[in-house]
Structure 1
Amino acid sequence: MTTTTVALIGANGHGRWHRRRIAEIEAAGGVRLAGLADVRPLETDPPVPAGVPVFSDHRELLARTGPDVVVICTPPHTHLPIALDAIAAGCDLLLEKPPVASLAAHHTLTASLTAAGRVCQVGFQALGSAAWRQFRDALPTLGALGGITATASWQRDDVYYARSPWAGRRSVAGRPVIDGALINPLAHAVMQALAGARAAGAGRPRQLVAERYRVRPIEVEDTAFARITFDSGLHLVVAVTLAGEDFVAGEIAARGTAGRAVLEYPTDRVLLPGDDEMRTVAGRADLLTNLVEHRTAGTPLLVPLQATADFTAVLEALTLPGVPAPHLLDDAAVLVEGPKRTIPGVNDLLRKVVETMALPSEMGVPWAAAPFTQRLPVT
């Protein structure tokens, strides 16, 4: 059997995780690493395998190595042109999240894939977990749903926002950068909740009402509250922060007339009707392995590009011209400890938002700003 050749574009930063994962799959005989590319010199952990070529230009990598599959782990605003180059070179894609910056780009990428007979898997890896499948399959047993929620409380300091020239930026050289909490670091929470709503038969997301905040002078939000309404009338409420107190890994919850289900997506723990406490569900399918199995045996993709259209619609609604910049909280609302900035009481607020489905401004939170409302583009 012919071994699938894989190349990685964007081999530093999070790309180092992909280098390790490709090495594990290669050791098991599943793929062969054809080459690596990055605009910066490669970090040496993990070491570059002997004989593997390294390029500073992804187009040279594509021309000289001719890989079957390309993993793209570059800054989000560079995804589309690199993906189109890889498709033109005859490659299937594993594209990191968020996949593209607009529905127009989503449609362009879809059309290119279709014309070339190629496929694209998107790196929302939590959608490959057995815990997600149990949560999804439990949704019809909950009765009429009263809502779906997503919450997470992380902490990111000044060093995080100095990690790259595009960190914390709204755009670079006229291109949207999409580095806000909702659509980059906590994108998995948004995607997992949207997938839950779609699995519950809610239809398409139609309206977004959002409040976005920042605790330092960046251009994007580090704290956000959003209510998304679907065709069925179902509400999805997201409450997340990167200026948190106690760590909350990431929880998706659905409540209905017959019960409640909770998924802690980063740890693959669930609480389903009949459970007394959260339990771990082992098993998470690797997205690259799944893509290779799709190529070789026709196995369905776990996260095909079309499954992320709702996410891209929300992303676009947050980045359209005219959308107000996130509200900068004043010193009275922020605790500053060296490079770390925290919103006192934010964890309690996150819980109240997901319990009541009300946004901070609707609760009369003193530092809350007026929300903005946006019709979501049709996917």
Structure 2
Amino acid sequence: MSKARIAVVGVHGHGATHVRNALRRGELVAVADPRPPSGLDVTAYPSLDELLAATTVDVVVISTPIQTHVPLAETALRAGADVLLEKPPAATLAEHEHLVRVIEETGRACQVGFQAQASAATLELARMMRAGELGEIRGISAVGKWLRKRSYFDRAPWAGRRTLDGVPVVDGAVTNPLAHSTAAALLLDGSTGVADVGAIETELYRANDIESDDTSTVRITTARGTRVLIAVTLCATEHLEPTVTVHGSRGEAVLHYSSDLLDGTPYPRTDLLQNLIDHRADPAVPLYCPFTATGGFTRVVEAIRLAADPRPIPESLLHWEGEGPDRHPIVADVEHWIDRAAGELSLFSEVGAPWT
């Protein structure tokens, strides 16, 4: 069987990882980026339209600014290609619903880059919950304690923005860098569809001079009644691996989704691009993260988009380190308040975080 012909759109930053993976998984035939890459032995086009007009492609991998995800995915799907789309898949619920219709019309496949969904550790924890091994589920908490420097927000015009030139971007700690936390928590609850998510409460804050949130709690109540508490920051003392914890009446289980560890035990992970290629060859092979299974997550993105702008954290609660592009704030005791919120499935204001 001939190798899948793959194109990558957006080759800088995380896109470089997709380029390397495409070279391993199939035949990389072209890339598209307004800034041509160096040292890559394939034709580079300034846009996806020009790429598709010049060459035949089976799979398009899209790793571009958030606000371009849906338009580019639609272009690729209508050209007859299948798509691997980076997260967050859409900036608005209307965009999400539009692309669902495009997928139905074209009959093509669209996989979203939530890698944790293809981890055997995540799937094993979901099985344990369904089997009742943790007892009655009290709730699910997702914790992210990350550190991002000024250079992170300066890397692109859309970074740290809620809108750009009037177009929704909805960047932020919950929706982008730590988006896997929310997506994994909803998957564990079996609440991946739009209708599976009920109430969404948001408390968005920022220490950096940006539009979007960098320190936030979000509480989701799913249609089945599960409370999902997201507590994250990009202003921690040190950069730690994020976790998702299932709180049950018989105990807790902790998933480290970045390293595929479940209660300290390592599990394998399936590559999402390979899974998409296998699905192309045999539609009986299910996608691990089809676009339609990101509706619940996009409901959360929509709630954050419609929420009030993040409130600034007072300077008295911040400690700044580094200079120039390395400068970054540390929120006082933020790790403590994140742990309190996660353990009690409560918002920052409910546990008394001082910036609230």
For residues 300-331 of structure 1, the C-alpha deviation after alignment (integer angstroms, 9 at most, x for no partner) is: 101000110000111011102xx211010111
Count how many residue pairs are aligned between Structure 1 and Structure 2.
Answer: 348
Instruction: Kindly state the Cα deviation for residue 190 of structure 1 after the two structures are TM-superposed.
Output: 1.0
Q: Matches of 2:15 and 2:206 in 1, distance apart?
A: 28
Report deviation, 1:199: 6.4
Aligned AA for 1:342? I
1:32 and 2:18 are equivalent in the alignment: no
What SS is found at the alignment partner of 1:191?
helix
- The residue number in structure 1 matching 2:281 is 296
Contact 1:130 1:284 in 2 (8 A): yes
User: Pairwise CA RMSD of aligned residues?
Assistant: 1.5
Write the distance in 2 (CA, Å) between the matches of 1:6 and 1:254: 38
Equivalent position of 2:56 in the other structure = 66
Q: Hey, what does 1:374 align to over in structure 2?
A: none
Q: Deviations over 1:248-297 (max 9, x none)?
A: 311111111222211011111111xxxxxx2222x110111100100102
Which amino acid counterpart does residue 18 of structure 1 have in structure 2?
H
What residue number does 2:310 align with?
326
2:320 maps to a residue whose letter is V
Contact 1:63 1:89 in 2 (8 A): no
Match for residue 309 of structure 1 among 282, 288, 295: 295
Equivalent residue for 1:371? none
- The corresponding residue for 1:138 is 128
* 8 A contact 1:246–1:347 mirrored in 2: no
Q: What residue in structure 2 maps to residue 28 of structure 1? A: none
2:349 to 327, 343, 361: 361
Q: Quick one: which amino acid aligns to residue 8 of structure 1?
A: V
Instruction: Map Cα deviations across residues 72-128 of structure 1 (whole Å, 9 max, x no partner).
Output: 111010111111111121111000001111221112111111111111000001111
Task: Tell whether 2:329 aligns with 1:352.
Answer: no
**Residue 18 (1) aligns with residue 46 (2):** no
Instruction: Check whether the contact 1:251–1:265 (CA below 8 A) recurs between aligned residues.
Output: yes
Change (3 A) 1:115 1:83: same
Q: Give yes or no for contact 1:180–1:222 (8 Å, CA) kept in 2.
A: yes
Aligned counterparts, 1:35-54, within 5 A: 35-42=30-37, 44=38, 47-49=39-41, 52-54=42-44
Long gaps (5+) in structure 2:
none
2:266 matched to 1:280? yes
CA distance in 1: counterparts of 2:128 and 2:192, whole angstroms: 10
Question: Is 1:335 aligned with 2:319?
Answer: yes
Tell me if structure 2 keeps the 8 A contact 1:228–1:237.
yes
Q: 1:243 aligns with which of 218, 235, 244?
A: 235
Identity over the aligned pairs, expressed in percent?
39
One-letter amino acid matched to 2:20? R
My pick for the range that moved more, 227-236 or 183-192, is: 227-236
Give the superposition deviation at 1:200: 11
Q: Give distance in 2, aligned partners of 1:14 and 1:118.
A: 25
SS of the residue corresponding to residue 208 of structure 1 reads: strand
Residues 198-242 of structure 1: CA deviation (Å, up to 9, x unaligned) = 2699x7111111211111220000011111111222111110000
Contact 1:206 1:228 in 2 (8 A): yes
Q: In the alignment, is the contact (CA less than 8 A) between 1:138 and 1:261 conserved in 2?
A: no
Q: Is the 8 A contact 2:173 2:233 kept in 1?
A: yes
Query: In structure 1, what is the Cα distance between the partners aligned to 2:34 and 2:330?
Result: 34
Contact 2:140–2:244, Cα closer than 8 Å, also in 1: yes
User: Is the 2:120–2:269 contact (alpha carbons within 8 Å) kept by the matching residues of 1?
Assistant: yes
Give the Cα separation in 2 of the matches to 1:284 and 1:232: 28
Aligned residue type for 2:304:
L
* 1:206–1:230 contact (8 Å) kept in structure 2: yes
Equivalent residue, structure 2, for 1:112 = 102
Counterpart residue number, 2:172: 180
**Match status 1:4 vs 2:4:** yes
* Partner Cα distance (2:172, 2:260) in 1: 24
Q: Which amino acid counterpart does residue 116 of structure 2 have in structure 1? A: A
Question: Can you give the 5+ residue segments of structure 1 that lack an aligned partner in the other structure?
Answer: 26-30, 272-277, 369-379
Supply the distance in 2 between the matched residues of 1:241 and 1:364 (Cα, whole angstroms): 16
> Which amino acid in structure 1 is aligned with residue 200 of structure 2?
L
2:160 partner SS: coil
Q: Distance in 2 between matches of 1:195 and 1:132?
A: 8
Q: Please tell me whether the aligned partners of residues 36 and 45 of structure 2 are also in contact (alpha carbons under 8 angstroms).
A: no
**Does the aligned pair in 1 maintain the 2:192–2:296 contact within 8 Å?**
no
Paired residues of 1:139 and 1:200 also in contact (CA < 8 A): no
